[in-house]
Structure 1
Amino acid sequence: MSLTDAVLSGAAPDELARAPLPDSFTAAHLRVEDENIFAGTESADKDVRRSLHVGQVPTPELAPDEVLVAVMASSVNYNTVWSAKFEPLSTFRFLRSYARHGGWAARHDQPFHVLGSDGSGVVVRVGTGVRHWRIGDHVLINAARVDDQEPANQADGMLGEHQLAWGYETNYGGLAHYAVARASQLIPKPPHLTWEEAATVPACAGTAYRMLVSDRGARMKQGDVVLIWGASGGLGAYAAQLVRNGGGIAVGVVSSEEKAEAARKLGCDAVVNRREIGIEDAGGDPELTLKAGKRLGRLVRDAVGADPDIVFEHVGQSTFGISVFVVKRGGTVVTCGSSTGYHHTFDNRYLWMRLKRVVGSHVANLQEQVECARLFTLGGIVPALSSLFPLAEVGEATRLVQLNRHIGKVGVLCLAPAPGLGVTAPDLRARIGEDALNPLRQFATGPATAVG
């Protein structure tokens, strides 16, 4: 029996261990010869379907602290879009840089780059130094690949100098039939979730948890007003739920009435349409940015009676100046990304004279990921999955995210032959409720596999 057949048949751990490893496996990947495929092309015209390939790549050897995971499902994050556009840098530069560390890192410098920073699946091999995980375990994979021998990581796993984004700055990511991860990336899979639901959790839910709940983020408390940019997207969908679950007041900003409906289903107490703010008109002009911020401030106060205590920021260049202005005196802007550009401008008077804080946040450490996953098991937070694509159509899935035509998380079935598999706690699932677990299924977009 092949290893893949053993996994799909639910074979026992000893059978999985006996099944031979494949020499190669199917993966969504970039090719180094395509690095200049978009030369001279405007960023908006770089169609990721041209650079994303699905095909065979060789199976690598495991380092002592690594595991091989049979990936049942994954999901698309914005770093997959960046990777496939080869911007702001080609990710092959990341792989070459990592390989210069020598040793096991050298394996990552290949003429292909297997993408994907999310994954749920079954552990099928463990390195000789792995202690806490066994073949057959059902896991999620944290996107943060850290070096546990760096001193800073003993304080916080995200502080190490050599922390890397798995499947973006490393090879052998989650958009594949098999993935390589460090044992320190593994999270127990919530047993009531399907493979595809679970695969939407680590990168976005974990990131939102660190940004809002962790003492390393904004330290949200009950009653806080939290302004959430992109409240119907992957990050925003989890931010809205965490605010609601933590006793806060969520105000979402979205770009359409359909996305407003989704944001309300996720727990937003109020929703603002971007068009009401005039973001596009600001264009980086300081005065217009302040005017847009004043409009947004009025809309928030009219809706919930107070200025935001926290602004949940990941849009970047087009919104950051507004975020700094609109957050209340002494409030916090917490940021984890810049999907519209990295070069932010803001009026510093409103930061220093009103004693505001800007907090940078990146993914989540392992403890934060485990704490976040537990909230799913408790039923307080549910998956943000809407659309679901087979691995063969990963280009279409990524294009959907590139064009911002998605709602919630876009999932990808990898080894799982159909949706709905992987549940090992059906009683818990029944208690939470099928409809409650899939609040965004009605918003599926594109030529996707039906969810549920």
Structure 2
Amino acid sequence: MQKILDAIMQAEGAADPAAELRAVAALPVPESYRGVVVRAAEAAMFDGLDTREKDPRKSLHVQEVPTPEVGPGEALIAVMGSAVNYNTVWTSIFEPVPTFAFLRRYGRGHDRPYHVVGSDAAGVVLRVGPGVTRWRPGDEVVAHCLSVELEDAAGHDDTMLDPQQRIWGFETNYGGLAELALVKANQLMPKPVHLSWEEAACPGLVNSTAYRQLVSRHGARMKQGDTVLIWGASGGLGSYAVQFALNGGATPVCVVSSPQKAQLCRAMGAELVIDRSGYRFWRDEQTQDVSEWKRFGAEIRALTGGEDPDIVFEHPGRETFGASVYVAKRGGTIVTCASTSGYLHQYDNRYLWMHLKRIIGSHFANYREAWEANRLIMRGRVHPTLSRVYCLEQTGQAASDVHRNLHQGKVGVLGLAPAEGLGVRDPQLRARHEAAINRFRNR
């Protein structure tokens, strides 16, 4: 593993980094590597505890795992940087079900008593399997998390509709929170040349998810002039939604939970911000407070000059969904993914049906949407929202911070990279966007 890292580090400051990186093709692949795992034997360790009491620091372990064989259409990458997503939290607390059920159904060498987690990665291709022509050893890449077989006709118009669509590192093994990762070759995209490894790794899942949810024809189809209510606007998903809204001529109304997070939204260019910490949308576990929905809607209209949201960008789920349906404008759209506060949504259907609103379910992105979202990162039109970076051994703490909503933007994790700031190949392009790249780090 050290020889692989040494070869990659030769590209730092080299006149021709690509030529230096081709040397990895001649190096042997190690028989094992370090990965962040959950263990099947511990899947019941949090039984009986409330979700908030489950601690990822107890369930996520760094251990040696055997290097998987690279099959047809696959690639093995040396992971220099990765990131924590909320599906890492779900995996670590074994909710809604332990992920080993996914691995058993998938088979194909992924059914193991350990699950190497992580759905983001930036690194260098080490090996490609038979049939791979687009990529070769030494290529610098980022990986999106769509794993799909495309053996069914349903996936050929929109790959997210393929019945065998899975999220890599969550519903498959050998994910990105590790020194090596196994991916399908069509998960790979070019690494943005002006970003470091950890910066390039962090947009993958959330940037693509926000793109489909808000911009794509499969999502809300945001247009110029739309008012877009964005929950968790300074978080990993919402921070990209804010950038898409601003780039697309929409007006984001950012909902956050503290004055510090409000400042981050304003730093991105958003002007309309609501601190939700003063709202209680539930009177108790069974009863929502309609008067709070109305008060929330009134604050939105006060900020927008009387406009209700054309689009509500939903992902908290149970805690906020009733309010989201209520505040969307007549004929408006609530587009939802995830459900970080709970999956069982409740809302008053009168406000949906009688006001002709729509609820759209959205899940990650197809290959084209992920590629387009990454292209915007490469062109410096959308920027990483990386706030903090951990080493591999600290992944449990990183996931715990996300679980408790102590983070801002995205939380990165170093894989093989020995330090932050490595992997930048175009310092001139970076210099033009330095302030935006570091917006969340400087806070």
Q: Give the TM-score normalised by structure 1.
A: 0.93
Counterpart of 1:297?
Answer: 297
Per the TM alignment, residue 12 of structure 1 is displaced from its structure 2 partner at its CA by 3.3
Matched ranges for 1:322-361 at <5 A: 322-361=323-362
Q: Could you report, residue by residue, the CA deviation over 1:60-96 in whole angstroms, capped at 9, with x for unpaired residues?
A: 1011110001111000001111111111101111111
Match of 2:251 in 1: 249
Deviation string for 1:123-178 (max 9, x for gaps)?
11000111211111111111111113322222011110010011011000000000
Match of 2:371 in 1: 370
Map Cα deviations across residues 423-447 of structure 1 (whole Å, 9 max, x no partner): 1122211222x1121110133xxxx
Q: Which moved more, 1:145-154 or 1:216-225?
A: 145-154
Aligned to 1:447: none
Contact 2:55-2:93 at 8 Å conserved across structures = yes
Question: What residue in structure 1 maps to residue 414 of structure 2?
Answer: 413
**Distance in structure 2 (CA, Å) of the matches to 1:255 and 1:177:** 35
Cα 1:44/1:144, change in 2 over 3 Å: same
TM-score by length of 2: 0.95
Q: How big is each residue's C-alpha offset from its partner over 1:363-386, in whole Å with a ceiling of 9 and x where there is no partner?
A: 111111111112123322111100
Note if 1:49 corresponds to 2:50.
no
TM-fit CA distance, 1:111: 1.1
Rounded Cα–Cα distance in structure 1 between residues aligned with 2:110 and 2:356: 44
AA matched with 1:29: V
Q: Secondary structure at the match of 2:442?
A: helix
> Does structure 2 conserve the Cα–Cα contact (< 8 Å) formed by 1:188 and 1:370?
no
Summarize the Cα distance change of 1:391–1:163 in structure 2 as closer, same or farther, 3 Å threshold.
same
Counterpart in 1 of 2:16? Answer: none
Q: Over aligned residue pairs, what C-alpha RMSD do you find?
A: 1.4
What SS does the corresponding residue of 1:252 show, helix, strand or coil? strand
Q: Is it true that 1:201 corresponds to 2:203 in the alignment?
A: yes
Residue number in structure 2 paired with 1:73? 81
SS across alignment from 1:62 = coil
Which AA in structure 1 matches 2:134? H
**Deviation for aligned residue 1:282:** 6.2
Structure-2 separation of matches of 1:291 and 1:185: 46
**What's 1:448 paired with?**
none
Give the distance between the partners of 1:292 and 1:173, measured in 2 at CA. Answer: 41
Q: Which moved more, 1:21-30 or 1:272-281?
A: 272-281
Structure 1 distance, partners of 2:304, 2:220, is 20
Q: Tell whether the 8 Å contact from 2:8 to 2:21 is kept in structure 1 after alignment.
A: no
The AA in structure 1 aligned to 2:277 is R
Unaligned residue ranges in structure 1 (runs of 5+): 100-104, 444-452
Q: Which amino acid is 1:90 matched to?
A: P
CA deviation profile, 1:92-132 (whole Å, cap 9, x unmatched)? 11111111xxxxx1x10111100001111111100011121
Q: List structure 1 runs of 4+ shifted beyond 4 angstroms.
A: none
2:15 is aligned to none
Does the CA contact (< 8 Å) of 1:187 and 1:366 recur in 2?
no
The 5 Å alignment of 1:8-407 reads 8-10=9-11, 12-99=20-107, 105=108, 107-281=109-283, 283-286=285-288, 288=289, 290-305=290-305, 306-407=307-408
- Provide closer, same or farther for how the CA distance between residues 356 and 284 of structure 1 changes in structure 2, counting only shifts above 3 A: farther
Preserved contact between residue 56 and residue 399 of structure 2 (Cα < 8 Å): yes
Q: Percent of counterpart pairs with the same letter?
A: 51
| Comparing 116-125 and 258-267, the one that deviates more | 258-267
Whole-Å separation in 2 of the counterparts to 1:269 and 1:160: 40
